[in-house]
Amino acid sequence: MSRYVIDTNVFIRRVVPPIIESVDAFFEQITTADELFAPQMLLPEYTSVLREQVSLKQIRDEVARQALQDILEMPIRTIVALGQFPRSFDLATQFQHQKAYDMQFVAVAEAESATIVTGDGGMRHAAEAIGVPVRFLR
């Protein structure tokens, strides 16, 4: 059994071109023995990135809405534990990040003893530096 915290970019990569084999394989390989987590910011962030693509006329409104509807069916447990906020603040300070958004994913992975799944090199670096396992999807 594995526990994963999934970064928003992994979900976005699953619905926009190009096909990234490692991302598709990840979603196909996880089983009912595994658990998926994310900080609560996943859904507002996913929604907002799709909305931005609609405003840039890269994705049609109805297609973005379908992508939004579909992610709501994903079996992800969103974590609302208050401890993630001060911890993400500490981590952002430690890694000299101006913002603490990334670090919420790292803080949740740390608290849940989970592996972070991301395509973002910066998040990978921060997670590895504090001993949080990373599955980096190139």
Three-state DSSP state, 35: strand
What CA–CA distance (Å, rounded) separates 15 from 109? 24
Query: What is the smallest separation between the CB atom of 131 and other proteins, expressed in angstroms?
Result: 23
Binding status of residue 131 toward other proteins by CB under 8 A: no
Residue among 39, 43, 45, 127 that touches other proteins (CB under 8 A):
45
Binding status of residue 33 toward other proteins by CB under 8 A: yes
Binding status of residue 14 toward other proteins by CB under 8 A: yes
Instruction: Please list the residues that pair with 3 across neighbouring strands.
Output: 35
Before 18, cis peptide (omega within 30)?
A: yes
Cα of 111 vs its chain's centroid, Å: 15
- Could you tell me how many residues of this chain bind other proteins (CB under 8 A)? 42
- CB closer to other proteins out of 2 and 111: 2
